[in-house]
Amino acid sequence: MSEPLPVTVVGGYLGAGKTTLVNHLLRHADGLKFAVLVNEFGALPIDEDLIEAQSDDLISIAGGCVCCSFGSDLTAALLDMGAREPRPDHILIEASGVAMPSAIAANVGLQEGFRLAGIVVLADSETVQAQAVDDYLGDTILRQLKDADLIVQTKTDLVEAPDAVTRWLSARAPGVSVLQAKQGQVPRDVLLGLETSGQPSLSSHADASFESHVFATREGVDALELARELAVGGYGLVRAKGFVRDAEGQVQLIQIVGQRYEVTRFGRQMPVELVCIGLKSQLSTARLKALLR
Amino acid sequence: MSDITIYSAKKIITMNSSRPEASHVAVRDGRILGAGTLEELATWGAHTLDTRFADKVILPGFVEGHAHTMEGSLWSKVYCGWFDRADPDGKLWDGLKSLDAVVDRLKAAADVLSDAEAPVSGWQLDPIYMNNTRVTRADLDRVSTTRPVGVLHASGHIMNVNTRALELAGLLKQGINHPGIPLGDDGLPTGELKGPDAMTPVGAHVGFERNLLDADEGGLRNFAKLCVRSGTTTITDLASRMDGETVEMMLRVTGEKSFPACIVPLRFFMGLPAAELIEEVKRLKGLSTERLRMGRIKVVADGSIQGFSARLRWPGYHNGAENGLWYIAPDHLAELYERALEAGLQIHTHTNGDQATQLALDKLAPALQKHPNPDHRFTLQHCQLADAAQFKQAAKLGMCVNLFANHHFYWGDEHYTLTVGPDRATRMNACRTALDAGLPLAVHSDAPITPLAPLFTAWGAVTRLTASGRVQGEQERITVAEALHAITLGAAYTLHMDGEIGSIETGKRADFAILEQDPTEVDAVALKDVPVWGTVQGGRVFAAADL
């Protein structure tokens, strides 16, 4: 059986930049085949120059990517995408502006053959604070932020003090990494998780605000306990992925996004090392080294 | 010159204020020539006097402003409700008062199926009346362990399934983490599925196809029979996705000479961006026929009160539940209102909670300033928790309301004790306040959520009795005359159809409800029990007994 298909849920209110972010990913797919699921085909979910062909419910995109609308039946759309030939490498679900991303993520969890790679919630630097106190929207916006594994703060160039907004966001969703982005530009590995090859490709993005390290891990660890510690121990990790060997000699795959962690038994022997990515300003390299070695 | 038929009646209640009562009504070409005395009507010339209604009471055909044709489709499944309910063929199904009785009826339905693996599906289960019994897959395993079994709750938001159904859907496993799928002590799902997200993956295995919103052909025919039995001649389908195939089927079926009702389907707002939705609904409007009237839009703003998904203003839910969910983004609603007003199309908006109602009011006001349209008649549907200030604002904005009078009977007690508490439960579906605010008023069943029966709905608005027999909110009761107006001209007004239906007067479509008793003469508490003989629709006579 093939590996579960990773699924990333992209949430946030209207205007937060979900479509921009998705288009940025498609534009820089680098051979990765994305399947994008949108609630409905709003006012052009995909940049026109990327579209190769379009039918009522499917848009074919340059580079083997596709976009389809799921309406009220996400399950059916997921299964369709999972059965596509060639198989997509990653599914992006663009949630509607008032949807709760955690509810969509829970549905992904019901389906065999899919794996939640993370919930990314976008927040518009200019409007998110006003939205959070809006009579109608406030609780919805705050619930969306709390749902996030990663918050992407967009339109930072349009406000005078983006860092103040970042601090405000961090206070609304304690422990969740907040990444600043312009025009949806966040390194793909950070946003969607590291590819199975395990090698970080951050250098190719030349993004100065992130750093990544590869740590060899000691033998005989309790994988679940280690994963939990990495996720919630305040190491400044945004993403981590890699392999450890437990006391029985079994290889375990650890995947972390924000405070979400997952441990799965891995059938093959692998080099036991862990790739850790975080914001330069936040990653506690020394503490990580002490924990892992 | 076409033929004139003059019907005599024990009494004709016209709802025409110029002439409220008559003894005869003349019909030509499916339309009303006039109501009056035989002598007056005979002045039109040669006619046939038809005396079959001589001992009946004739009212304008009832107009149901909020129902769903899917009720017709549901009757192909097993009725599991608490209350007695008549099916399209007139058979009265006893309400089931215990889980054992539900299991027995499902088992009886399973036993006559030849295919050993065919699903058994039931509907309208309401454990609220069974002391909120939690139904489990073990209960439904008593129906069958080999075939999938699924029962939809009356709310439409919860489904119970058996073990086989979970197996088929791949959900009989450990480690499920989903708010809509409770787990038992064994770590496996209990078989209760809450919300569409949890129901959809299993529904297809237990006979609940994915698109529940649209009726199929058999369902539409069944639905029409229910209309005749309840005296209804015009009825909305609120809402339909109206894909090409469904529209083609509805045009064909309603176009048949013997189809007894005028169907008014509203296009559900989802599935198309605002600009395209407007164009599509304009196109549909152009396809309308005498008995299929398209060209309106239904928007859903929030969820349901008993499902705790309605959007409430302060102080929120009585039991402390978190506020509900928006089903449309506020900005999206504003855009739809603007575009519809600009295009001259009408929108009906589902707002259960009072915050959702306020959102609709707040978004309509500026949209109207941009695109003034004094006769828009945008209608608030359900609008169950609105207070006097909101009703007054709605009236100022030129809106109509269609209140859920039946809800009060079926779930009023639960609202009192659990969802919104005594004070707000007392003002739910406040018909008196709405009328006093000057709002055009309709009342509805939301069939299949509650049974289609406009006289019952009128009774609900008049008595405000709950299922436990309490009068809840006596200040909000309306008179029989007001209630009868609400189920005829009132509902017609919300559809811009009051110029052609809703009363018995010259020029209007010959749509009549034929009753065995005079609803204005019986005790108000007996209004719901007035027997319906059948209908006349577009001048065609439909006897319930002949269906």
Please name each of the domains of chain B with its CATH number: 78-206 (3.10.310.70), 217-537 (3.20.20.140)
Looking at residue A30, its pLDDT comes to 87
Give the CATH architecture of domain A5-186: 3-Layer(aba) Sandwich (3.40)
CB B38 within 8 A of CB B82: no
How far does the CA of residue A209 sit from the closest CA of chain B (Å)?
Answer: 34
pLDDT tens by residue, B117-149:
999 999 999 998 988 889 999 999 999 999 999
Tell me the C-alpha to C-alpha distance, in Å, between residue B537 and each of B30, B175, B287, B295, B525: 8, 57, 21, 22, 28
Q: What are phi and psi of B246, to 5 degrees?
A: -65, -45
Higher-pLDDT residue of A195, B523: B523
User: What is the fold of A202-292?
Assistant: Hypothetical Protein Yjia; Chain: A;domain 2 (3.30.1220)
Query: Nearest residue of B to residue A43 by CA position?
Result: B273
Most A CBs within 10 A among B176, B199, B325, hence the mutation to make, goes to: B325
Contacts of B325 in chain A (CB under 8 A): 98, 100, 140
What is the predicted ipTM?
Answer: 0.88
| B73-87, B186-200, B206-220, B320-334: the lowest-pLDDT one | B206-220
Percent of chain B's residues with pLDDT above 70:
99
For the stretch B184-206, pLDDT in tens is: 999 999 999 998 888 888 998 99
CB < 8 Å from A in window 448-467 of B: none
Decide if B197 and A74 are in contact by the 8 Å CB cutoff. Answer: yes
Q: What is residue A3's predicted lDDT score, i.e. its pLDDT?
A: 82
Say what the pLDDT of residue B409 is.
Answer: 96
Q: Do B179 and A100 touch (CB under 8 A)?
A: no
Whether residue B273 and residue A139 make contact (CB cut-off 8 A), yes or no, is no
- The residue ranges of every structural domain in chain A are 5-186, 202-292
pLDDT at position B239, please? 85
Task: Give the type of residue at A195.
Answer: E
Query: In sequence order, which ranges of A32-135 are alpha helices (DSSP H)?
Result: 74-82, 101-110, 128-132
- For chain B, how big is the Rg over CA atoms in Å? 23
Residues 6+ apart with CB under 8 A from A116: A6, A7, A8, A9, A105, A108, A109, A260
Nearest to A137 among B170, B178, B330 (CB): B330
B188 touches chain A (CB under 8 A): no
Nearest to B256 by CA among B297, B224, B213, B216: B224
Is the CB of A98 less than 8 angstroms away from the CB of B323? no
Contacts of A109 in chain B (CB under 8 A): 176-178
Q: Of B176, B323, B326, which is closest to A110 when you measure between CB atoms?
A: B176
Distance CA B436, CA B484 (A): 17
Gap between the Cα atoms of B461 and B409, Å rounded:
9
Q: Cβ B176–A73 below 8 Å, yes or no?
A: no
**Residues B446-460: pLDDT tens digits?**
999 999 999 999 999
For residue A265, the SS3 value is strand
The confidence score (pLDDT) of residue A48 equals: 87
Domains A5-186 and A202-292 share a fold: no
Phi, psi of B222 (to 5 degrees): -60, -45
* pLDDT on residue A193: 85
Would you give per-residue pLDDT tens digits along chain A (293 residues)? Answer: 578 999 999 999 999 999 999 999 999 888 899 999 998 766 667 888 999 998 877 899 988 899 998 877 888 899 899 999 889 999 999 999 999 999 999 999 888 899 999 999 999 999 999 999 999 999 999 999 999 999 999 999 999 999 999 999 999 999 899 999 877 688 888 899 876 444 445 544 446 788 889 999 999 999 999 999 999 999 999 999 999 999 999 999 999 999 999 999 988 888 899 999 998 888 999 999 999 98
pLDDT score for A203 = 45
Beta bridge partners of B346: B296
B437: pLDDT strictly greater than 90: yes
Q: Which of B124, B120, B65 is nearest to B94 (CA)?
A: B124
Which residues from B are below 8 Å from A96, CB to CB? 329
